[in-house]
Amino acid sequence: MEEFEMEFVSSSHLEAVGYREDIQTLRVQFKDGSLYEYYNFPLVEYESFRNSHSLGSYLNYQIKNKYPYNKIG
C-alpha cells in the first residue's frame, strides 16, 4: 500500500483524508474504519474538497460516481 500522509478532519462521517499529487490519488478514511481511494483525482479538485464547507457533502456530490475508486480497507 502506498504511503499517504493522512490528516484528521472535522466531519461527521469522515475521519481523515490524504492526497498524493504524484499519483493523483485521494484517500479517505471514514469514521467506521473503511478506507477508499479515488483515482485520476487532480490537485485542484483536492484543494476544492479541502476548502469546502462540508467534506461529506462534497464527497457525495462532487467526487463519488465521478472518479474511479476502490475500497482498500
DSSP three-state, residue 28: strand
The answer to whether residues 26 and 9 touch, using CB atoms and an 8 Å cutoff, is no
Q: Dump pLDDT digits (tens) for 5-57.
A: 999 999 999 999 999 999 999 999 999 999 999 999 999 999 999 999 999 99
Which is more confident, 48 or 3?
48
Q: What local confidence, expressed as pLDDT, does residue 1 receive?
A: 55
pLDDT > 90? residue 2 = no
